[in-house]
Structure 1
Amino acid sequence: MDKDRIEGAGKQAKGAIKEGIGKATGDTSMQVEGKADKAEGKVQNAVGGAKDKVREGS
């Protein structure tokens, strides 16, 4: 498994936690940061998945 997939999953989890805390406390900026972290994590995870596919095809 590519390290980008692992890091991406971590960023998604971190983003979900931030978003949840932001919702619970009414902190809109923290919610937005959480959503951004989740999106960044999804992209990084997808990049890692693509790298894995390339390696599998080799």
Structure 2
Amino acid sequence: MTSSPDKNNSDNINQEELNNICDECKQEDESVTQNLILTSYKICKSCRVSKTIFPL
């Protein structure tokens, strides 16, 4: 069986979203995926703490 082009395209987009790179500091961390699932923001644990303490 062959996959439809739309399915392959959506798989590529999902892989780009789950690349463990923080949107704030641009560093790679495994907590990025965890925070993406929990809060729907792609930020690492340290950026999340700093955003909680200093919410600007």
With the shorter chain as reference, the TM-score category is 0.3 to 0.5
* Structure in which a larger fraction of residues adopt helix: 1
Output the TM-score relative to the length of structure 1: 0.37
Higher relative contact order (CA closer than 8 Å, sequence separation 6+): 1
What TM-score, normalized by structure 2, do the two folds share?
0.38
